[in-house]
Homo-oligomer: A and B are copies of this chain.
């Protein structure tokens, strides 16, 4: 009974918490913020999850998964090296476009208190050993690309475009542009990143 009837409420709280945590971060979020967003009684957040901290950890786990899993899948896909580079960059772009607060949230929460998030972060260790990593070594061995480690190429594929979005607010104000213009700029910059990485790797 519990599972069936409680799901709507429990799910509503999680969705609300996800939304508020993403926007305000853990420190900036109050239990009442979440309850209000979910349009529910304050006590329910502690009824379904035992504390704000517990609720946060669940949300964080989900969001870290969203942040990494698809990229991980692409890296392990059956696809040629160069296409994989393009697809990873495109996917990162799509991801941050759909969830504009995600990168800021993950990077900031991990930076602020890495210790408590360690068990979740461990899952991300998978990026060290992917099919893409093997392909990378192969391309280097063949002399097709310059020598480079996985820890150097991954930030190029994922991090650079993420930074553009993380600094969106400031960028828009510095260059006095609106949402629409920023999107065009980001898209353009993404293509430049692709070309730049290819240019660098293939000399």
Contacts and interface: CB of A to CB of B under 8 A. Distances in A.
A46 interface: no
Interface residues of A, number: 50
A53 interface: no
Contacts of A169: 110-111, 114
A41 interface: no
Given A111-B104, A203-B199, A151 B171 contact: yes
A79 interface: no
A121 interface: yes
The A contact surface, by secondary structure, is: helix
Nearest to A167: B107
Interface string A117-133: 01001101101100000
Contacts of A192: 148, 152, 200
A148 B203 CA distance: 20
A159 B167 contact: yes
A189 interface: yes
B104 A174 contact: no
A196 interface: yes
A127 B45 CA distance: 46
A195 interface: yes
Nearest to A164: B155
Given A110-B167, A155-B167, A163-B166, 10 more contacts: A27-B28, A101-B111, A110-B170, A121-B170, A124-B170, A124-B174, A125-B173, A152-B192, A155-B171, A195-B200
Closest 7 CB pairs of A and B: A27-B27, A196-B200, A27-B28, A163-B163, A114-B169, A159-B163, A104-B111
Interface of A: 24-25, 27-28, 101, 104, 106-108, 110-112, 114, 118, 121-122, 124-125, 127-128, 148, 151-152, 155-156, 159-160, 162-164, 166-171, 173-176, 185, 188-189, 192, 195-197, 199-200, 203
